[in-house]
């Protein structure tokens, strides 16, 4: 294996491709067992960089569809707000656009043992250990997922609309990020830029809750500057539904954990497992009755659910109340907030998870 493909195919990336050359060199030192996985990651991102165009250029292009042009104009305003008002990185991330011609940026594979909710861990260069494995090609993700199923794991393959290189490279805006809802569009940009601002290696729950807090509070602030009262109401309602849905999944996960820890045969545990997932779907239907017709989670719930679907529940939300209270303590001064979060050390983060009130959002 070598990096000649990057040299011949992706010469327009400038400094970013130099970083890719460096990463490829590290990949080759990582050993054959992981080199293939890292190669698809480097190659996948390099292909995206090779197709990017400045957003201003895409907006000016007469062949650009009006709906896309309008969204990209929104992105320009959102991007300026992110740096000027939220003190998020003022760099070239999300100033370039790429139409991937597909619905997701990449596909993540999550796996758990048959009678456990604890996800399998994969450890990576630079970012530490995580509970999922990402692929730029859906078929590669499905092939790897199939190999895990053959080993007896419960497996989930989930599409991701966006990802962050954590500041190693300048992240482009992808067509997969262009939500119809402008609040969600702003949120995903704030979330991914937050990962560039602060990232603690090996603390996924901490990182995601921090980014989710920046996303939520950032969107509220953005909508407030537009005097969009209805937008704020709708966004808070949507976030409330996210929390309630998360609570529902957490409750089921807790029941599964208890069932798996008790004595009994595998047949007994399998029977109880099936019953709890049937119960989950029934409880979801009850929850929807209070949502006034919100069907946003119907497709997810229609899947053949297993342990892997619940393995990461809580990652994005568990620590949100702490970050919200900390931001409030700093009078919503995002710059001071980031400084305080960045100064935290590993032991503080571990203690944090044991002392927080759970799932309490700002009213």
68 in a structural domain: no
CB of 160 closer than 8 Å to CB of 170: no
What percent of the residues of the chain are helix, what percent strand, and what percent coil, each to the nearest 5? 60, 10, 30
pLDDT in tens, 38-68: 888 888 888 898 899 999 999 999 999 999 9
Q: Tokens 């707000």 belong to which residue?
A: 81
85 in a structural domain: no
pLDDT in tens, 286-320: 999 999 878 989 999 999 999 999 998 876 777 78
Cα distance between residue 134 and residue 157, in whole Å: 9
- Residue 232: which region, alpha, beta or left (left: phi > 0; alpha: psi -120 to 50)? alpha
Facing residues of 265 across strands? none
Cα Rg of the chain (Å, integer): 21
DSSP-derived letter for residue 31 is -
| 200 pLDDT higher than 90 | no
278 CB-contact burial (10 Å; exposed 0-12 / middle 13-18 / buried 19+): exposed
188 in a structural domain: no
Query: How far from each other are the two terminal CA atoms of the chain, in whole angstroms?
Result: 54
Cα distance between residue 218 and residue 327, in whole Å: 11
Identify the H or E element spanning 243: helix 229-261
322 in a structural domain: yes
5: domain range? Answer: 1-51
Percent of the chain scored above 70 by pLDDT? 84
64 in a structural domain: no
Which two structure tokens, joined as six digits, stand for 149? 């199923």
341 in a structural domain: yes
Cα distance between residue 242 and residue 252, in whole Å: 16
pLDDT in tens, 12-21: 333 443 344 3
As for how many domains the chain has, the answer is: 2
178 in a structural domain: no
Query: Given this model, what pLDDT does residue 354 score?
Result: 57
195 in a structural domain: no
pLDDT in tens, 201-237: 877 788 888 999 999 999 999 999 999 999 999 999 9
Identify the H or E element spanning 283: helix 266-288
For every residue of 308-321, DSSP letters joined together read: HHHHTTTTTTTTHH
Task: Please state the rounded mean pLDDT for residues 272-291.
Answer: 95
Other Cβ atoms within 10 Å of 234 Cβ, number: 14
């Amino acid at each position: 294996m070598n990096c000649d493909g990057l040299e011949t195919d992706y010469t327009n990336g400038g400094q970013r491709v130099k970083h890719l050359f460096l990463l490829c060199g590290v990949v080759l030192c990582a050993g054959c067992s992981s080199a293939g996985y890292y190669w698809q990651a480097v190659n996948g991102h390099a292909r995206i960089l090779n197709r990017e165009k400045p957003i201003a250029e895409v907006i000016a292009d007469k062949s650009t569809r009006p709906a896309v042009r309008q969204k990209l104009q929104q992105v320009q305003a959102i991007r300026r707000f992110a740096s000027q008002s939220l003190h998020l990185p003022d760099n070239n991330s999300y100033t370039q656009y790429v139409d991937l011609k597909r619905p997701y940026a990449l596909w993540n594979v999550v796996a758990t043992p048959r009678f456990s909710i604890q996800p399998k861990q994969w450890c990576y260069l630079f970012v530490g250990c995580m509970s999922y494995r990402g692929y730029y090609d859906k078929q590669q993700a499905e092939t790897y997922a199939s190999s895990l199923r053959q080993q007896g794991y419960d497996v989930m393959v989930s599409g991701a609309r966006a990802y962050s290189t954590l500041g190693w490279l300048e992240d482009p805006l992808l067509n997969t990020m262009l939500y119809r809802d402008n609040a969600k569009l702003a949120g995903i940009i704030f979330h991914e830029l937050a990962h560039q601002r602060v990232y603690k290696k090996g603390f996924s729950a901490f990182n995601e809750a921090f980014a989710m807090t920046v996303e939520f509070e950032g969107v509220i602030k953005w909508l407030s500057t537009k005097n969009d009262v209805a937008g704020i109401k709708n966004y808070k309602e949507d976030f409330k539904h996210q929390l309630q849905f998360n609570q529902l999944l957490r409750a089921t996960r807790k029941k599964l954990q208890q069932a798996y820890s008790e004595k009994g045969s595998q047949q007994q545990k399998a029977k109880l497992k099936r019953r709890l997932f049937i119960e989950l779907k029934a409880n979801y239907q009850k929850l929807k009755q209070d949502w006034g017709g919100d069907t946003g989670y119907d497709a997810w719930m229609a899947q053949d659910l297993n342990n892997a679907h619940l393995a990461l529940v809580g990652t994005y939300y568990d620590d949100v109340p702490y970050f919200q209270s900390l931001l409030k303590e700093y009078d919503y001064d995002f710059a001071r907030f980031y400084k305080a979060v960045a100064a935290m050390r590993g032991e503080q983060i571990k203690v944090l998870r044991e002392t927080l009130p759970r799932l309490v959002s700002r009213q």
